[in-house]
Amino acid sequence: MLAVTLGLLSSRRLGLALPAEAVEGALAKIERVLPEAVRERVQAVAATVALDLPAGPGGAESRLLAELSAAAARGRSLRLRYGALSGDETVRVVDPYGVARRAGSWYLVGHCHLRAFRLDRILSVDPTDLAFTRPVDFDALRYLMDSIATVPGRWAVQVELELSIDEARRRLPPVYALLEPLSERTLLRCEVDDLERLAHALVQLCCGLRVREPAELRDALRHLGEAIARLADDPAEGAFRRSG
């Protein structure tokens, strides 16, 4: 019952459009059927546990989430009306493989030129008579994170890290880059628009590394090292002024 209570509490922060009275009502029903000792523990959890779950910019209607999940489970294609960030609307047929949550937002992952859809931008969903076969053991969250990591950017980056693949995965957020084992090292691949931010992230890994490309990343690392040295010499120098 503690797990159920935590699940209900989590729904408040997961961006699900569930009425507050529905959550409170469910918690109250649980409490009524529990033995007194267990009820006290559940009440203590509800009253004192705070969950630091990032709230997304837009909530996922629970009905939409259920409809998308059901279509994925049944292997039925959907016709979506989708609102892009630019404001444009498109209608497309999608084979839904699964629904995943990342960085405060819900995404529909499926086959539509291999892209994912923000649930808060799906304007309508209509079932179709088209059937599809969902890939065996498809990992919607893994696919979503790999897709975000490979979003095209200004700079295509390859860096060899003096870390095992397991250690690299432990230190790097999975959405940040693609990681490939290289004997006792790891190859990091990603595309970014901001090399200075990437340089900061690489330094925080606290490991040896070799930049394969681009050469401009070496310059960004060099500038960062010089800034750290200035800060150590005189904190009043404003060492972290951005270059350019």
Distance CA 192, CA 44 (A): 46
Task: Look at residue 114 in the predicted model and tell me its pLDDT.
Answer: 42
pLDDT band at 11 (very low <50, low <70, confident <90, very high): low
Does the pLDDT of residue 20 top 70, yes or no? no
* Domain pair 62-137 / 150-237, same fold: no
Options 3.40.50, 3.30.1330, 3.40.1000, 3.30.70; which CATH number does 150-237 get?
A: 3.30.70
pLDDT by residue (tens digit) across 123-178? 888 888 888 887 777 777 777 766 666 666 788 899 999 999 999 988 887 667 88
Task: Look at residue 161 in the predicted model and tell me its pLDDT.
Answer: 96
Does the pLDDT of residue 65 top 70, yes or no? yes
Task: Look at residue 158 in the predicted model and tell me its pLDDT.
Answer: 93
**Geometric angle at alpha carbon 149, from 148 and 152, rounded to 5°:** 85
Read off the DSSP letter of residue 188. E
pLDDT by residue (tens digit) across 191-243? 888 899 899 989 999 999 999 999 999 999 999 999 888 888 776 655 555 54
Domain boundaries, the chain: 2-48, 62-137, 150-237
Helices (H), 98-181: 140-149, 165-171
CATH 2.30.30 fits 62-137, yes or no: yes
Task: Look at residue 199 in the predicted model and tell me its pLDDT.
Answer: 93
- Cα–Cα nearest to 85, from 135, 120, 37: 120
Does the pLDDT of residue 4 top 80, yes or no? no
Q: Could you tell me the pTM of the whole model?
A: 0.47
Task: Look at residue 26 in the predicted model and tell me its pLDDT.
Answer: 62
